[in-house]
Amino acid sequence: MFQPTAWAAALFAGIAAAQSYPADVVGKLAESSLSKLKDFLAKNPQGSCTYETAVKRREWSNLTVKERKAYTDAVLCLMSKPALTTSQAPGAKSRFDDYVVVHIQQTPRNHGSTFFLPWHRYYIWHYENALRTECGYTGYQPYWNWDRYAKDPANSPLFDGSEGSMGGNGAKEAHQGIPIPGAPRPYNMIPPADGGGCVTTGPFKNMTVNLGPLAPTLQITRNPRSDGLGANPRCLRRDVNKNAAAVTTANYTYDLITNNKEIYWFQTVMEGQFPQGKWGVHAGGHYTVSGDPAGDFYVSPGDPVFWLHHAMIDRVWWIWQMQDLEKRLAQVSMTRTMNNMPPSANGTLDDLSGLGVLAADVKVRELMSTMGGLGGKFCYMYE
């Protein structure tokens, strides 16, 4: 009888079929909304970006192991290339770090403000483009459907530590949990999970975190610079936390999309209403990973899972926009500063948003649509 060799077994594992999950209510809403997108594009052509030509960003578990590894290999490639931001951030060592630098510098402008959703859309696309143009990646930015893994994230395809994961949980280390500033008891502290230490399995087990911390959730050596941009090399730490994941199940996301008709409330509920003890799916996803740097508000893109989380944030906005494209592609809210501190004017579609040394400022209106935005460079959907 034929006995498969180790080589054949490895080859089969590399092309293994994507894992199957039943469609959740958010996925069903997205699918039923595609007819609205088709109708809108028929009335409002976007040049060469059409429903048929738009690329598809896919969920992590819908990729084969081979496709997942191609993505993590590209991220590791970006980590191997020299930084462009060392003149302003001496701690930056790689092109991957460049993106962390920009996030650190622009956090006070791009959270709790007009720019939160459009700026992150630009940011994710630019990172995806760097993986493709600088590291030979032929796929597109995957996203993390929080609901699929919410019950047991540490043992999910995202965090199980296999070669087809985004790396494992951190080693078990005692820590206090995750404080939520401004939240009332008992919502002011997310209980610790079973990690907290260095990640020792998966593609990023040897990764070095260089920047920060600025707002750590763990006891981490302080950065030599007050702005967090000095050299502070250390291991990647995680405390993959199902307590935080509990607020990211599909019912929360579905309610977020369907119960908030105006952008102000959609964004406010998404980002979290901490004084009311509501973390929101945005914070819930970040704190599902937790650790260092994922749990640090400023430095969180330093954990490679950040990009899958924020692709999901972008997907949720995309689904929300599809419910009323005529109105919602032109709807912004809030002021130009985080939580209006210091006080600032309301933002508009004509305000500029950019990526520092990485990409030029463009008007917010150029970042509103995944179909034809940024002069046609945005041309993607989620499946």
Q: Rounded mean pLDDT of 275-283?
A: 91
For residue 363, what are the contacts with CB-CB under 8 A and spacing of at least 6?
349, 350, 351, 352, 353
Q: Which residues contact 222 (CB under 8 A, 6 or more apart)?
A: 213, 232
pLDDT of residue 1: 35
Least confident of 18-22, 31-35, 241-245: 18-22
pLDDT digits (tens, 9 = 90+) for 296-315: 999 999 999 999 999 999 99
Assess whether pLDDT exceeds 60 at residue 10.
Answer: no
Span 35-61, average pLDDT? 98
CB 105 within 8 A of CB 97: no
pLDDT of residue 7: 32
pLDDT for position 274: 85
Express each pLDDT in 121-158 by its tens digit. 999 999 999 999 999 999 999 999 999 999 999 999 99
- If you count DSSP H runs as helices and E runs as strands, how many of each does the chain have, helices first? 12, 10
- % of the chain residues with pLDDT over 70: 95
Dist. CA 176–CA 271, nearest whole Å:
23
Residues with Cβ within 8 Å of residue 310, at least 6 apart in sequence: 120, 123, 124
Given a cut of 90, whether residue 89 has pLDDT beyond it is yes
What's the pLDDT at 76?
A: 98
| 185-198 average pLDDT score | 90
In the prediction, which pLDDT does 14 show?
42
**pLDDT, the chain, mean:** 94
pLDDT at 8 over 80: no
pTM exceeding 0.75: yes
Which whole number is the average pLDDT over 363-373?
98
What pLDDT digit, counting tens, does each position of 32-45 carry? 999 999 999 999 99
- At 2, list the tokens: 């034929």
Phi, psi of 32 (to 5 degrees): -70, -15
pLDDT at 17 (0 to 100): 55
**What CATH number does domain 55-382 carry, 1.10.286.10, 1.10.1280.10, 3.90.930.12, 2.40.170.20?**
1.10.1280.10
Separation CA 325–CA 321 (nearest Å):
5
